[in-house]
Amino acid sequence: MNPYRESRELHLPDLLFIERCREQFGINRGVYNTIDIWMFHHGWTDVVELRERIQEFLAVWKRQAGDRIVIGPGNLTKRLQEDVGAKGLPAMARAE
């Protein structure tokens, strides 16, 4: 069972969910929006699954980075590409 799935956070209004990600991972709204749209275009279209993936992606990055996620030029896109390569696309996107 995924701990994020059970979380009420996944069902917050957009603004509150983005604020929670800022507090938890130190990212701004622009970074969140980039991750959100990138994952959406790569097959995560269910809002709860998408938010779950965003939190998982950011949690892994934060663990690997230590205390703070550092986003330099091209770093976000590279991390997103590596993440999809490691995790694969959702079943719905593979079927298309």
pLDDT at 96 over 70: no
Say if 2 falls within a structural domain: no
For the segment 7-65, what is each residue's pLDDT rounded down to a tens digit?
A: 788 899 999 999 999 999 999 999 999 999 999 988 889 999 999 999 999 999 999 88
Residue 23's alpha-carbon distances to 20, 60, 68, in angstroms, are: 5, 16, 11
Choose between 78 and 68: higher pLDDT.
78
Say if 81 falls within a structural domain: yes
Full domain range(s) for residue 48: 8-95
Q: Whole-model pTM above 0.75?
A: yes
Say if 1 falls within a structural domain: no
Whether the Cβ atoms of residue 69 and residue 27 lie closer than 8 Å to each other: yes
Say if 3 falls within a structural domain: no
Choose between 96 and 90: higher pLDDT.
90
How many domains does the structure of the chain reveal?
Answer: 1
Helix axes 47-65, 14-25, angle to 10 degrees: 10
